[in-house]
Amino acid sequence: MLNVAGGSDQPRTAVVVGAGVVGLSTAWFLQERGVDVTVVDRAGVAAGASWGNAGWVSPGLALPLNDPGVLRYGLRSFFDPAAPLHVPARIDPALWRFLLRFAARCTEQGWDRVARANATLNVESLAAYDDLAAGGVATHAMQAPVTAVFETHRQADALVDEFDRLAAAGQDVSFHHLPADELRDWLPQASDRLGEGVRIDGQRHVDPGAFVGALAEAVRARGGEIRSGFDVVDVRSHGRAVTVRSATSTTVSAHAVVLAHGAWFTRLGRRFGVRVPVRAGRGYSFTVPTDEPVPGPVYLPGIRVACTPYQGALRVAGTMEFRRPDEELDPARIRAIVDSARPLLTGVRWEDRRDEWVGARPVTHDGKPLIGATNAPGVYVAAGHGMWGLTQGPLTGRLLAEHIVTGKRPDALADFDPLR
């Protein structure tokens, strides 16, 4: 049990629920402000969406999911098990309500609203990584452009149009067109089907499992405790303390609690006035050897696949599958990624793949994360970052720690109010 006694309004102790990139970043930045932290997780460090993702720290490609094109595509392919966006045919009223609310926001105006909101996180996201590195966290972030590849010039222009809209929303993206010959000089894996590329400069990538592990070690080195196997079933706010209880009736209390457990958030969130649900948009990944080194991250927008140099090979990640977060990996989804990417990339030994993985990305219907205070004293939220938790997680932690310790919400969090 943590000591929560004291006369100061500034919280001196905190419990963070969730040992992924968002939760651990929040814990680290709380420690920066003098708060004693305990992190609890149902499984362990990076056991959710943080381990097997593409590892992109890419504010330039943190694009709103609620694109009208996604809606048009989704209506044609929802039930196709080989499609990048997949919804299993099953009776799940809550999921269908979520998808209908999401669809209502797949408009040009909705895209622009999310872009303006997320720009406040994206433009400072790399600076938050620099803060971690300066504080001794072994981020091992590699600076490298992301190369988006296309079969036609028209397809490439569609991405450039999105960059123009991001600029109008307050986020400038540096990019460079690559004609076919220049693309193949830069990316030896580009097949003859690819006619153009767009190089997005100023991006980074990490080994996500190693990075989150290093973040956990940094939290421990500062005196923080990380408890695995702590499946939270109840959170109670009482007076100046908040108590978290596990499925085994173990409890831990603190001045503040941060709910940062991703796709598992909604059940607890409803108790504290959070009406925006978080659903599991599951992503798949695997690792394959290549005949030649890949110079940097590669994006295949037409099939929604992200590729990243990883441990001397290539990590390939993709799909958005709306299932319950704990369901088993579906091998058909892995095969669908392979079948769609094989014609576009050469020198990749697809049949020698390893580390097949599925993780539950936390998705909100309005495309914006939930960051801030709830209606219960001392209970805060950091959830719903969708595909961009690795990019936005450290900055989320920095801003939320400021909010918790000072009692003043940073302007950058105004659009992410959990009670909206």
Q: What are the residue ranges spanned by the domains of the chain?
A: 13-416
Per the CB < 8 A criterion, the answer to whether 279 and 36 are in contact is no
Which H helix or E strand runs over 280? strand 278-288
Query: Which of 2-6, 99-103, 170-174, 258-262 comes out lowest in average pLDDT?
Result: 2-6
pLDDT band at 78 (very low <50, low <70, confident <90, very high): low
Kindly report, residue by residue over 95-126, the tens digit of the pLDDT: 889 989 998 999 999 999 999 999 999 999 99
13-416: CATH architecture? 3-Layer(bba) Sandwich (3.50)
pLDDT band at 139 (very low <50, low <70, confident <90, very high): very high
d(CA 412, CA 420): 15
Report the pLDDT averaged over residues 250-255. 98
Is a pLDDT exceeding 50 seen at residue 5? no
Per the CB < 8 A criterion, the answer to whether 403 and 279 are in contact is no
Instruction: List, as one string, the DSSP characters of 127-194.
Output: HHHHHHHHTT----PEE--EEEEESSHHHHHHHHHHHHHHHHTT----EEEEEHHHHHHH-TTB-TT-
d(CA 80, CA 398): 40
Per the CB < 8 A criterion, the answer to whether 199 and 186 are in contact is yes
At 74 the pLDDT is 58
Is a pLDDT exceeding 80 seen at residue 8? no
Per the CB < 8 A criterion, the answer to whether 182 and 156 are in contact is no
Is a pLDDT exceeding 90 seen at residue 144? yes
pLDDT band at 69 (very low <50, low <70, confident <90, very high): confident
Length of the chain: 420
Give the other-Cβ count within 10 Å of 130's Cβ: 12
At 3 the pLDDT is 40
Is a pLDDT exceeding 80 seen at residue 228? yes
Is a pLDDT exceeding 90 seen at residue 296? yes
Identify the CA nearest to 232 among candidates 30, 51, 384, 18.
18
- Give the gyration radius of the chain's Cα atoms: 21
Is a pLDDT exceeding 70 seen at residue 81? no
Tokens of 238: 């009482």
pLDDT band at 80 (very low <50, low <70, confident <90, very high): low
Is a pLDDT exceeding 50 seen at residue 225? yes
Helix orientation angle between 389-406 and 21-32, rounded to the nearest 10 degrees: 40
Is a pLDDT exceeding 90 seen at residue 84? no
Is a pLDDT exceeding 60 seen at residue 6? no
Average model confidence (pLDDT) for the chain?
Answer: 93
At 79 the pLDDT is 61
Is a pLDDT exceeding 90 seen at residue 179? yes
Q: What percent of the chain has pLDDT over 90?
A: 87
Tokens of 26: 């929040």
